[in-house]
A and B are shown apart, each in its own frame.
Chain A
Amino acid sequence: MIEVRNLHKTFGSGAKKVIAVDGVSFVARDGEITGLLGPNGAGKTTTLRCLYTLMRPDSGQVLVDGVDAAADPLAVRRNLGVLPDARGLYKRLTARENIAYFGRLHGLDEATIRARSDAAIRALEMEDIAERRTEGFSQGQRVKTAIARALVHDPKNVILDEPTNGLDVMATRAMRAFLKQLKGEGRCVLFSSHIMQEVAALCDRIVVIARGRVVADESPDALRAQTGEANLEDAFVRLIGSDEGLAA
């Protein structure tokens, strides 16, 4: 479970000051998929970066399975699987070696790494590329490898920053199925997106954020009811107050 309480984060100072996150609070529960929905520049990536302790929030609290991220960042990272916005691989290592590296950094033994890699490679249907060096991998192959290595330690909580970014229709469908599978395994899945349909199709809960603030935190149905719009996309536009940044 991931709890975010009144998170604030600004960049720069003076005239160049940017308020990226301005009092964000929400809860992502186990066995649910929570979608962080917002237009470009809304503060999704920054919020997630505070969650996996890459950034320190100016104020506010992050709890992962009850552990305070500010107090024990290592424990928090141990309980998180992260697919960040940046998902570069080591191109001179094979996909399997990339996965194993992260497994070792998580303190897993070689047998466990082997078993988990095999399972992930099967689940993500990447048998054909597993032993290849990742140099020249397609976008989809890169994302698969990055996900496999992010989940090698079997984390209870999974954070993904725009996981379907750059994927074709088939890969996107596979990704959605995979997220559902993670949910079925009882994990807490939190992902960001700016694509309405995607969030609608997947999420148990939608946290809409715009200009660094949470403007709605509901189930898809409740969201429709709250805004009085039958169509989710219209609901979204009404919530963020403009239709800027709404790429489908």
Chain B
Amino acid sequence: MKSALIVFLKEVRENLRDKRTVVNTLVTGPLMGPLLFVLLINTLVSRELEKAEAPLKLPVIGAEHAPNLIEALRQQRIEIQPGPADAERAVRDQDADVVLRIPPRYAESWNQGEPAQVELVFDESQRDAQSAVRRLQGALEGYAQRTGALRLLARGLSPAVMKPVVIAERDQSTPQSRSGQMFGILPYFFILGALIGGMALAIDTTAGERERQSLEPLLANPVPRSQILAGKLATTTAFSMTTVLLSMVAFGIASRFLPTDKLGMDLHLGLDFVLRGLFVMLPLAALLAGLQTMVAAFAKSYREAQTWLGLLTFVPAIPTMLLTVLPFKPQTWMYAVPLMGQQVALTRFLRGETVNSDALVLCFVCTTLAALLVYFVTSRIYRSERLAISA
């Protein structure tokens, strides 16, 4: 244990003197996530808000065939513009989000009491256009319903006969749960922070040490290799936890500048989150440090190690994507799976939900076991002759 501590202290001191490592751990790692996120959210939110409030500019072809409809749309703060010659082309070229086309037969059908058709030309795959399309659809349906009700009344029928079933929506999402959904990728940024924070260290203490020829003299000391490895892993874990802590703080500060209130969202990024988050992240940081060290120990050179570890940063994105794309209900077994457990727990912490302590302990213990397993495998690699010799 004492030797591991000596190695740990020396590695910390040495690496704190390395500008690149310090910048990675203290600046790039913690800040990259929050910055990306703030940018992303800000553009998303302000664009949504802009669209909802500003008058919708709507190119219309054949407005003269339906003056009443046009008037009704104007009352919904939709600004009617002369339509383009070719509606499909205008949408394809993204000159217009949506084009309304009123055929000449509109008035005739209307007068005969038949369904009068209007056409919406839009591109479903165009995310930007979606809110405009939805708004226009809403306005058109509203107009159709009002007119239909009037016609029924004129024939002496209650408009209620048209509505055998009425849907009353009772949305159970709370502001917190909505933000949790939207902020479901946040845990990935913390896990990414752990990987970035540990990367330079994992390489420096293995492939790096071998490349600068200092591993062989080190191993000539009367210290078991497993202890040297333990000291190095502790250093890597400490740096990556520092990155995680700083990125939590950075997110906490950044979230104040996010217009979350405008979205009716409430992000829990306070002290409570930091404490509980660090608890579940600690064993994961150790596990990732072990994996990074294992990969770096296999690599023949510093460069090769960098390449492999770069690829490794994408691994934690997998559970994140699964969990955000697939609808899921957090289940107990998920806490037992390293990475996934942290993902689920962090998401729930962010929503301000309580996670029962059994699940948290399960998460901690299982990830710790995985970390120990990786430690044993890595120390086997560390014992091999090939590792020490630079050739």
Contact = CB atoms under 8 A, between A and B. Distances in A.
Given A75-B222, A105-B222, A90 B214 contact: yes
A101 B10 contact: yes
A48 to B, nearest CB: 10
Interface of B is mostly: helix
A52 interface: yes
B14 A93 contact: yes
A106 B221 contact: yes
Contacts of A211: none
A248 interface: no
B187 to A, nearest CB: 34
Interface string A72-111: 0011011010111111111111000100011011110000
B14 A86 contact: no
Contacts of A102: 217, 221
A146 interface: yes
A21 to B, nearest CB: 14
Contacts of A83: 217
Nearest to B209: A88
Nearest to B217: A84
Report, as a range, how many residues of chain B touch the other chain: 20 to 34
A56 interface: yes
A55 interface: yes
A75 B221 CA distance: 10
B259 interface: no
Given A77-B221, A86-B216, A106-B222, 16 more contacts: A54-B219, A54-B388, A74-B223, A78-B222, A82-B220, A83-B217, A84-B217, A84-B220, A85-B216, A86-B215, A87-B213, A88-B217, A90-B10, A92-B18, A93-B17, A105-B223
B217 A93 contact: no
A115 to B, nearest CB: 19
A149 interface: yes
Contacts of A104: 6, 10
Report, as a range, how many residues of chain A touch the other chain: 20 to 34
B67 interface: no
Contacts of A107: 2, 222
A150 interface: yes
Interface of A: 52, 54-56, 74-75, 77-78, 80, 82-93, 97, 101-102, 104-107, 146, 149-150
B138 interface: no
B214 A105 contact: no
A199 B216 CA distance: 25
B213 A88 contact: yes
A91 B212 contact: yes
Interface string B97-116: 00000000000000000000
A217 to B, nearest CB: 25
B214 A88 contact: yes
Nearest to B14: A92
A103 to B, nearest CB: 10
B13 interface: yes
A75 B2 CA distance: 17
B3 interface: yes
Contacts of B388: 54
Interface string B168-210: 0000000000000000000000000000000000000000010
Contact of A86 (B3, B214, B221): B214
A87 B390 CA distance: 11
Given A86-B215, A88-B214, A146-B217, A101 B6 contact: yes
A87 B224 CA distance: 20
Nearest to A79: B222
A61 B15 CA distance: 40
Contacts of A149: 217
A82 B13 contact: no
